[in-house]
Structure 1
């Protein structure tokens, strides 16, 4: 079972790298390409986070140091972020052009990885039991990301997603941000609750 789980996680890391690289190779040839804009998308960053989390988990498994608290917090946070990517895309952005023109890459980053990451966290036991106060740690990165995006939207006018466009009015943008923040908290509580389960021993 351990070999199967590690193989699935390795495939997930490879899939993320391949999907981001495929999209970057297309986007980098466009006249409108900007390195910071491409990697400024929450989609790209959350997928990088989950790939790093799986890679770190594979290293920990090789060193027989599974279930450490720090790594579990990082993996739990990454699971929350990639789940947020999946839910937000498939509810608010599914009909919007978010500059992922490579369809299979789009599916991997917005559908396959979010589903797999949540199942991986739910099913496999090699994680520490988290406590509910840890949910506030999960909010740090999205808060920093959001501040940067709002500053950019107010200065150079670039925002990655339409619902963050200041032209909508900051009241509307604030409501969207609040909704996403509430979702992250609820998803964080769910992820922490899942950490108490031991469905498949690894």
Structure 2
């Protein structure tokens, strides 16, 4: 027969002081869910980046490099190529995705440029091109085919592909409302640049990159009003992207379970 264990051990001094309180802490997802390689996402993003670089290269070869690179759609497409290449590398090597503020800004600029093209420039007279109205008029054969394919790729195919990558291959809820004003800094500076370009360059219709910025034809009040409306529309588009990002489901598969789960507070 064994002796029962006493509930209190005698002759044990009491430890003075209060029991230290553990500080709450949260464990990152990477501490619980192991990273996963995503080769299909990496392949898609690599093709998207190569298509963006190819479209911009064709536009540069067909027109003046300085004029082509001055267009917002071309600049945003180059940013899309760089960001998508970096995202493809992270998907292939099972690293954390790029910050949502960066990928969200890139998507906003590409989609915004596409909407401006289709709403304000697609039906312009004379026809609007980033290379100039006469740069591709006499091209035939393969050069003519590339010249015909580059604009729809730049203004339609790539923006749609970028939206699909964001919706189907990117984790949600990584952008916040505070990002929207910061995203407008670059478009605001760009509009100021194009207005100054048209103001200080010699009198020539080619000094205006966009028809709606022709102050000789429309006047300064109209041009400034359109520029302000474009910034407001871009801000509304940013709010729409943030709303969708906060409510859409997560398409990114999680890694294998580790056998335990950490819940805050941890520590």
Query: Deviation of residue 48 (structure 1)?
Result: 0.7
Give the alignment's TM-score, normalised by structure 2.
0.67
1:82 equivalent in structure 2: 110
Larger helix percent = 1
1:162 equivalent in structure 2: 211
| Alpha-carbon contact 1:85-1:110 (below 8 Å) kept | yes
| Alpha-carbon contact 1:16-1:47 (below 8 Å) kept | yes
Q: What per-residue deviation string (whole Å, max 9, x for no partner) do you get for residues 115-143 of structure 1? A: 11122212223365211011011101111
Structure of higher CA gyration radius: 2
| Alpha-carbon contact 1:10-1:54 (below 8 Å) kept | yes
CA gap 1:192/1:123 in 2 versus in 1, 3 angstroms: same
Runs of at least 5 residues in structure 2 that lack an aligned partner in the other structure: 1-36, 137-146, 254-267
| Alpha-carbon contact 2:42-2:92 (below 8 Å) kept | no
1:30 equivalent in structure 2: none
Aligned residues: 194
- Cα RMSD over matched residues? 1.9
Query: What secondary structure is seen at the aligned counterpart in 1 of 2:178?
Result: helix
1:91 equivalent in structure 2: 119
2:38 equivalent in structure 1: 2
Query: Deviation of residue 46 (structure 1)?
Result: 1.0
1:147 equivalent in structure 2: 192
CA gap 1:123/1:193 in 2 versus in 1, 3 angstroms: farther
Residues 1:21 and 2:45 aligned together = no
1:186 equivalent in structure 2: 236
Summarize the alignment of residues 68-147 of structure 1 with structure 2, pairs less than 5 Å apart.
68=98, 71-95=99-123, 96-100=127-131, 101=136, 102-126=147-171, 129-147=174-192
State the alpha-carbon separation in 2 of the partners of residues 67 and 21 from structure 1: 27
Summarize the alignment of residues 43-58 of structure 1 with structure 2, pairs less than 5 Å apart.
43-58=73-88
Runs of at least 5 residues in structure 1 that lack an aligned partner in the other structure: 28-32
1:174 equivalent in structure 2: 224
State the alpha-carbon separation in 2 of the partners of residues 137 and 64 from structure 1: 29
State the alpha-carbon separation in 2 of the partners of residues 41 and 133 from structure 1: 27
